[in-house]
Amino acid sequence: MSVLILLIGFSILIAGGFLLAFIWSVKRGQYDDDYTPSVRMLFDDKPVGEEDPSFKPKQK
């Protein structure tokens, strides 16, 4: 039955991976604003003279 122990070890490892992903996403601020992104994704056409969209602000 030791195969069960192995399986359980894996399943907890995978679940732990998802937990880490969750913690990372909260830290990145994905849960800070649950409304604006839903509106923002509908603005598809960029206005004339759009600046370089790849600009990212420096991290603090």
Min. distance of Cβ 19 from other proteins in angstroms? 5
Local structure of residue 23 (DSSP, 8 states): H
The verdict on 14 binding other proteins (CB under 8 A) reads no
CA atoms within 13 Å, Cβ hemisphere of 60? 1
φ/ψ of residue 19, rounded to 5: -60, -40
| Total binding residues toward other proteins, as defined by CB under 8 A | 33
Query: Where does this chain bind other proteins (CB under 8 A)?
Result: 1, 4-5, 8, 12, 15, 18-19, 22-23, 26-27, 31-36, 39-40, 42-43, 45, 47-51, 55-58, 60
